[in-house]
A and B are shown apart, each in its own frame.
Chain A
């Protein structure tokens, strides 16, 4: 059994960690947090130069042609660094949708642009409250034009193109949904930035008004493609969450060692030690579930839907738990803007909703476990 990343993959992780430690310090993240810029352009450029944006994109489309395991280790480091760039929207959602369903021409147009950092992509799925479900898709597509409103769209205000879920039928089945590619620089698109929990990652409302769009994948296949995209993104986001969990745990541990109260290190009090031990337990369970997700993703295994849901739930819980208790270990200082704790707290709770809420994924997991048990 070799249920671990290879030495080369670990080396890539170290390389990503080193690069991000240098280029994505908390100080750099704060430039975006404070609203001075919408995302860190320099970092984005650097990620492209390092080959990280296109790590899982085949060489013929301008990528490094490595695989999803390589993308997982980079994702972990992006989460650890709380990187303020549209990585998940562009790489896990838009690029994966293109890889699954794009025509040769569509791949040629967008994938090299993603890999080189020239194009930011996103997925426009949600329309207000609610989780991923065909019935929640109201935006219509007819005669090659889209009409409707998507929100929230992650990184929508800075994206160059979007994969849009649209209603093309009214039978009440999954086949009513089709996907479209929209160049957001064209006409018929109105974008409005929205305030959100985590200002280091933008959210937007996009209104499509007789907006020209080209189909992505076959008509009526939209939901099936989306389900695959969401499963892949669930695993990749889980690695970001694992990285974030580890960092929040480390911050709490370090503070517990430095801070003196009642004449001793606060990390010598069992109440604090046990809180940190429980954070370690959550982070470890999440990491192990995510490894299984990575295996399923990289081998395109039949177990992917179940593995992805388990990784998603476990990593979401762990990041929320670690980020929350990191503040608690810090006490009052953890509640200041000046300390970095709240950046992870914001990211953890925003990520918990990005691909659908945890209760949605819990529901998915049970469905998928039942399916497996019945088979």
Chain B
């Protein structure tokens, strides 16, 4: 048992480290280091432009999407090399945020289901950050039950005509392409009538509107489709096979090993180490210590769980199911920690200003943003179902709409 690299891994790390040292945009290092929670913002620069420049440089150096085959813009690297790269990329990895949906979900789907022509045309540009992709799955009436989606695609000659609405689309406003799942046959049960496409986000009839979220920010979009034309050549997989195609995408969403999820623990520990309560430092209070310790072991448990997964990759094995707990644990922690940190601040905990003396409003922002962590990318409830069914082998939920044609499924509760 050890935490050391193998000689090959150490050599690879050294190469990566040298390249990062020579090429990274150091002028942003400090700003990027500071923002540990939530979306990244740069004070004087456009995040997407800075990100694109970094991604382009990486692609030229052979460090973009490095686990992809070379012919599609990658480096043919092993899974463990990808993890090592992420560790060495460090804070600059935050600049790749606009490309993560494309790299992590759209790209792998095109790779698995696209034609050779499509792969050669789209993947290298996606890898290099030249073209940004978004994912158009969720709808106002289809979140956890995404197979219940309503957006229609109807065949018209060699084209498809799309009408409907998507929601929670990160980056739709700066994306060049989108991966779209739509209903092509409402007369069959819901999973069977779906088809996957990709489209040019500049197509006529595509309208992107920002959503004002519960935390007051605007990070996601709604996307409306009015008679949008998509050529049949941009279909991925067979007509009616969209559900299987989407599983490729969603599996990739949950496979991000080695990416550290924010828990709020380092921030809370720092707060408690400095915050004076009536009887002294918060961290000297037995009640505070007990809470802190319980969260600390969750946080370290997550860290070492990801180390176990990395170790499997290092041995060339498939990681076990342990990593599925990451988002479930960290999402709840973030919310609980935010609530507790505010409680420690007493009446002043209600204030959200960035010039407030205690923690500059960061826990208040954490509180307001944290509900989304428990919903996006699989709700806590869906994640528990996944653990129960795929890890523990318990039966799937009974689906009352399983054999019912989609257009016969009730659409209103009352």
Contact = CB atoms under 8 A, between A and B. Distances in A.
Nearest to A311: B297
A246 to B, nearest CB: 12
Nearest to A367: B289
Contact of A277 (B1, B289, B392): B392
B1 A295 contact: yes
Contact of A267 (B1, B314, B394): B394
A288 B1 contact: no
Interface stretch (B199-207, B210-218, B304-312, B400-408): B304-312
Query: At the interface, is chain A mostly helix, strand, loop or mixed?
Result: helix
B286 interface: yes
Interface residues of A, number: 50
Point out which of A270, A288, A359 has the most chain B C-beta atoms below 10 A from its C-beta. A288
Nearest to A290: B304
Interface residues of B, number: 50
Given A2-B314, A273-B384, A370 B301 contact: no
B388 A277 contact: yes
A280 B328 CA distance: 12
A1 B297 contact: no
Interface string B369-391: 00000000000010111011101
B282 to A, nearest CB: 11
Contacts of A249: 392
Nearest to B313: A1
B269 interface: yes
Contacts of A268: 394-398
A249 B393 CA distance: 12
A347 interface: no
Contacts of B389: 273
B411 interface: no
Contacts of A61: none
Contacts of B289: 362-363, 366
Interface in B224-275: 269, 273
A273 B1 contact: no
A211 B290 CA distance: 40
A81 B392 CA distance: 20
A291 B1 contact: yes
A373 interface: yes
Interface in A117-137: none
Contact of A314 (B1, B301, B325, B396): B301
Contacts of B303: 288
B388 A2 contact: no
Interface string A233-259: 000000000000000010001001100
A313 B304 CA distance: 15
B395 A3 contact: no
A6 B315 CA distance: 11
Interface in B289-346: 289-290, 292-294, 296-298, 300-305, 307-308, 310-312, 314-315, 322, 325, 328-329
B17 to A, nearest CB: 16
Nearest to B389: A273
A322 B273 CA distance: 33
Nearest to B385: A273
7 contacts: A3-B304, A5-B1, A270-B384, A273-B384, A285-B329, A288-B322, A313-B293
Interface of B: 1-5, 9, 269, 273, 283, 286, 289-290, 292-294, 296-298, 300-305, 307-308, 310-312, 314-315, 322, 325, 328-329, 381, 383-385, 387-389, 391-398
Given A272-B394, A362-B294, 4 more contacts: A3-B310, A273-B392, A317-B297, A362-B289
